[in-house]
Amino acid sequence: MKNLSLILLSALAFTFYSCSDDDNGNTPPDGENTVAGYIYTTTNGQGINQVIRFDRLQDGSIENETAYATNSQGGSNIGVGGDAFGDFDSQGAIQIIDDYLLNVNAGGNTVSVFSLDRSNGDISLLGNTASGGTRPVSISSTPVNGSETEFWVMVGNQWNNPNVQKNVPDVERYPNDAFHMMDLTEADASDAERNIALFRFNTTDGTLSPQGVMDNYVRENGGPVQVLFSEDGSKVAVSLWGIAHFLTDSPSLDEQHPSRVYVYDFNNGTVSNPRFFEESGVAGTIGISWAPNSNTNLYSTNFNVTVAKAENSVISLNDTGSEVVKTANFNAGNGDDLDEACWTVISPNNDRLYVSSFKANVITPYALGAGGAITETLPFETREGTMPAGDSKDMWITSDNSYLYHIGAFQSFSMNVFDITSNGLDFREQILLNTTQSGQGQPGAFNFLGLTGFDL
């Protein structure tokens, strides 16, 4: 959900836009630009959800767009949410586990399991499993202790996306005024659908077995946007979206409800000791990332902050084991826009945090020091090509730390390629997807969820 422009996009065929002649030293000699890996996202449209695969070449370019049906519904619905056209947020919607690819189907309330051929990137649908709630949006996994073939898989079910738009007297409340007049801290039947659900995944045959709901959430703080195990598997973090007030230059505390970042202890399939961070004036939390080599420090990004909290687009958090506390906060982008900082990714060499901003279509890199502390905000890089305000979402980085890929998820329906440089990023090219070109000109006709890949 962000400040969406109503600029209509022209219907463009599958093509690319290139704006950079920079050479990062990774361009192979003529005739040797072979496939180096594969990249995947999901269309999350108004019909059957599809997984999209691209071949990634050695020079960072991508080709050979291929679509695979999930046989389960996407979650887009342009008829709800007024000027937001049904937008909702998610990080971690598609994951590779061993020789399998798993993705959520937000409209079908299922998780798809595909077998993955690592020699050619091909995937084959094995089946769909009920997500344990409504609108699954995020997946995370960690190995089962003592097993070489099993993983714990946590799924975040978001349920819905209540929000408030614009100012009085033109204020609009979704799903309706009556919802926002309730005491949203009280228990409600919908709590059961707004949860984190645990599964056990067997990589010998691809079976995904439900283990039950681990926790659920009241309406005031919203549903999950991301679930994320720590690297050592001892903890799981969950970001909740809260209730945002946007399409305004001054979000109101009378309308906005704070988001939360929860941390739980995780042990042998059980979660315990819940604690959380929340702060008045901070809502719309989306991306969370654990700091490198840490199960105590993490980052969160917040798209909807009040004027008084404008410096809180990015927040560093510390989990003490009994509480989650803020240790630092930062701007994103040019610092002038309150609707910033949405998606996160850590570089493979652990020296940077990258933050994507939905409205401004920029990526802001942050230098990381010892213990994962943010030591410097590096120059942000603006996407080019087709870039309507309200479009940029997930990112993925190659294992050699040479290229960053980034989806234009909500209006352009594009894949965007960046070269990683010594001082930040250089935008290289944009590819408008052929599979989703029927949605060009209609915000929300698709709402790509997730971005992942692997290298050969």
Kind plus residue range of the DSSP H or E element containing 439: none
pTM over 0.85: yes
Q: What is the pLDDT of residues 231-270, one digit of tens each?
A: 999 999 999 999 999 999 999 999 999 999 999 999 999 9
Q: What is the pLDDT of residues 99-108, one digit of tens each?
A: 999 999 999 9
pLDDT band at 28; cut points 50, 70, 90: low
Rg (CA), the chain: 20
Q: What is the pLDDT of residues 52-87, one digit of tens each?
A: 999 999 999 999 999 999 999 999 999 999 999 999
If you ran DSSP here, which 8-state letter would residue 378 be given?
A: P
pLDDT band at 20; cut points 50, 70, 90: very low
Check residue 30 and give its pLDDT. Answer: 59
Check residue 354 and give its pLDDT. Answer: 98
Q: What is the pLDDT of residues 415-437, one digit of tens each?
A: 999 999 999 999 999 999 999 99
DSSP three-state, residue 193: helix
pLDDT band at 31; cut points 50, 70, 90: low
% of the chain surpassing 90 pLDDT: 90
3-state helix, strand, coil in the chain (%, to 5): 5, 50, 45
In 3D, which of 180, 155, 167, 99 has the Cα closest to residue 449?
Answer: 155
Check residue 370 and give its pLDDT. Answer: 86
In 3D, which of 366, 355, 358 has the Cα closest to residue 424?
Answer: 366
Task: Specify the CATH number for 36-342+362-375+443-455; select among 2.130.10, 3.30.70, 2.40.160, 1.10.287.
Answer: 2.130.10
Number of neighbouring beta carbons within 10 Å of residue 30 = 6
Placement of tokens 């594969």 in the chain: 38
Averaged pLDDT of the chain: 93
DSSP three-state, residue 372: helix
DSSP three-state, residue 205: coil
Q: Are strands 297-305 and 282-290 parallel, antiparallel or unpaired?
A: antiparallel
Q: What is the pLDDT of residues 198-214, one digit of tens each?
A: 999 999 999 999 999 99
Q: Which residues pair with 418 in a beta bridge?
A: 404, 427
Check residue 46 and give its pLDDT. Answer: 96
DSSP class per residue in 69-132: EEEEE----TTSSGGGTT----S--EEEETTEEEEEETTTTEEEEEEE-TTT--EEEEEEEE-S
Amino acid, res. 287? G
Check residue 371 and give its pLDDT. Answer: 86
Q: Are strands 424-432 and 100-105 parallel, antiparallel or unpaired?
A: unpaired
Structural domain boundaries in the chain: 36-342+362-375+443-455
Pair of tokens at residue 277: 């961070």
Q: Which residues pair with 430 in a beta bridge?
A: 17, 416
Q: Is pLDDT at 27 greater than 80 in this prediction?
A: no
Cβ–Cβ < 8 Å for 50, 68: yes
User: Half-sphere exposure of 252 toward its Cβ, with a 13 Å CA cutoff?
Assistant: 13
Q: What is the pLDDT of residues 331-371, one digit of tens each?
A: 999 877 776 799 999 999 999 999 999 999 999 999 999 88
Q: Is pLDDT at 440 greater than 70 in this prediction?
A: yes
Provide the phi-psi class of 108: left if phi over 0, else alpha when psi is between -120 and 50, else beta.
alpha
Amino acid, res. 59? D
Segment 83-92 shows an average pLDDT of 97
Cβ–Cβ < 8 Å for 362, 383: yes
Kind plus residue range of the DSSP H or E element containing 180: helix 177-181
**For 144-281, where are the E strands, in sequence order?**
150-157, 163-165, 172-174, 195-202, 207-216, 224-229, 235-240, 244-246, 260-267, 270-277
Q: Which residues pair with 290 in a beta bridge?
A: 298
If you ran DSSP here, which 8-state letter would residue 192 be given?
A: G
CA–CA separation, 275 vs 283, rounded Å?
18
